[in-house]
Amino acid sequence: MGALKGRDLLSMADLTAEELRDLLYLAAQLKAGATYPQCQKLLGLLFYKASTRTRVSFIAAMTRLGGQALDLNPSVTQVSRGEPLADTARVLDRYLDVLAIRTFDQRDLETFAHYAKIPIINALSDLEHPCQVLADLQTIQESFHGLAGVTLTYVGDGSNNMAHSLLLGCALAGVNVRISSPHEYQPLDRIVQQAKKIAGDRVEITTTTDAIAAVKSAQVIYTDVWASMGQEDVATSRIPIFQPYQVNEELMSHADSSAIVLHCLPAHRGEEITDDVMEGAQSRVWDQAENRMHAQQALIASLLGVTG
């Protein structure tokens, strides 16, 4: 795990397949109660968007490691008054040991990573949500006792952060991934190509507008909101466009009988997922949310080099 010490995690593709496997192994050990050397390090959280799971799971993970987390509210720091990110990054670098940022533009994360020497973690951007996918893969691994050869179908907004990080993370993990979304909401082609390059010929990567075909025989059905944070103004107009992509009992009947349902949360019940599927026997959403904490504890420990 030493290879991750001092690195940034801005994209799922910042990890190699081996590094991802090691992180998931460590996350599983932590969940099983393994104790790791404690550290007295300081994690900063700079979140420009709302968060429940990511914020609290990072604080819990850092506390479990013996460190502390400092919730930096952009609205009461000088970034809200226009202090350049390059300056903020160089100052925070002198106080903190690791910094997780939730923001809009991926380039802001890159600016922080360029100017700060401490590890910078993408805690969600418009482009990607890699921390979520670490927990998702941990959850899939728990359900199927492995990852290679499992097929995940993502149904919904293929152009969002979740679809992009799932494409890259599944490709790395050997999970076949199918993205099913309306024509205008397909993933960025450069991410699809990047995922295909990672996958080589061992993993199936497909995109389609046909939700039923995509779900057929899949073992993991994944969905996310139809309008992400920052897209609230188009949320209502998107509902009829995305209605055929709702994860409901009818769609689930086309999946493998062993299929599990994942959602990164928060969910809009009655839109991208029905209440009965969310609360049904196939749902693993609460385990998935719990795994945010274990996966991020593994991540922080690895970036700080405190894995023993």
Binding residues (CB under 6 A) for ligand NVA: these are 124, 160-162, 224-225, 228-229, 264
Q: Tell me: does residue 51 bind ligand CP (CB under 6 A).
A: yes
Instruction: Please state, in angstroms and as integers, the Cα–Cα distance from residue 72 to each residue in 55, 69, 77, 250, following that order.
Output: 11, 9, 7, 44
- Cis before 182 (ω within 30): no
Q: Judged by CB under 6 A, which of 168, 264, 285, 306 binds ligand CP?
A: 264
User: Residues 295, 53: contact at Cβ < 8 Å?
Assistant: no
CB of 159 to ligand CP, least distance (A): 17
Closest listed residue to residue 135, CA positions, set 32, 31, 17, 279: 31
Cβ distance to ligand NVA smaller for residue 161 or 297: 161
Instruction: Tell me 76's DSSP state.
Output: G
CB of 141 to ligand CP, least distance (A): 18
Cβ distance to ligand NVA smaller for residue 28 or 235: 235
Q: Judge whether 129 counts as a catalytic residue.
A: yes
Give me the sign of the Cα torsion angle 197, 198, 201, 206.
negative
Q: Judge whether 132 counts as a catalytic residue.
A: yes
User: Residues 196, 206: contact at Cβ < 8 Å?
Assistant: no
Instruction: Please state, in angstroms and as integers, the Cα–Cα distance from residue 73 to each residue in 20, 45, 62, 78, following that order.
Output: 30, 8, 18, 10
Neighbours of 208 (CB within 10 A): 15
Out of 126, 170, 194, 264, pick the active-site residue: 264
> Which tokens go with 247?
């994860």
Q: Judge whether 102 counts as a catalytic residue.
A: yes
CB of 46 to ligand CP, least distance (A): 14
Q: Judge whether 264 counts as a catalytic residue.
A: yes
CB of 100 to ligand CP, least distance (A): 11
Q: Name which of ligand NVA, ligand CP, none residue 52 binds, using a CB cut-off of 5 to 8 Å depending on partner kind.
A: ligand CP
Cβ distance to ligand NVA smaller for residue 21 or 55: 55
> Which tokens go with 8?
């940034």
φ and ψ at residue 32, rounded to 5 degrees: -80, 0
Q: Judged by CB under 6 A, which of 31, 53, 164, 284 binds ligand CP?
A: 53
CB of 124 to ligand CP, least distance (A): 6
Q: Name which of ligand CP, ligand NVA, none residue 253 binds, using a CB cut-off of 5 to 8 Å depending on partner kind.
A: none
Q: Kind of pairing, strands 68-72 and 42-47?
A: parallel
Cβ distance to ligand CP smaller for residue 51 or 181: 51
Report the catalytic residues. 102, 129, 132, 224, 264, 292
Residue numbers of the site for ligand CP (CB under 6 A)? 51-54, 124, 132, 264-266
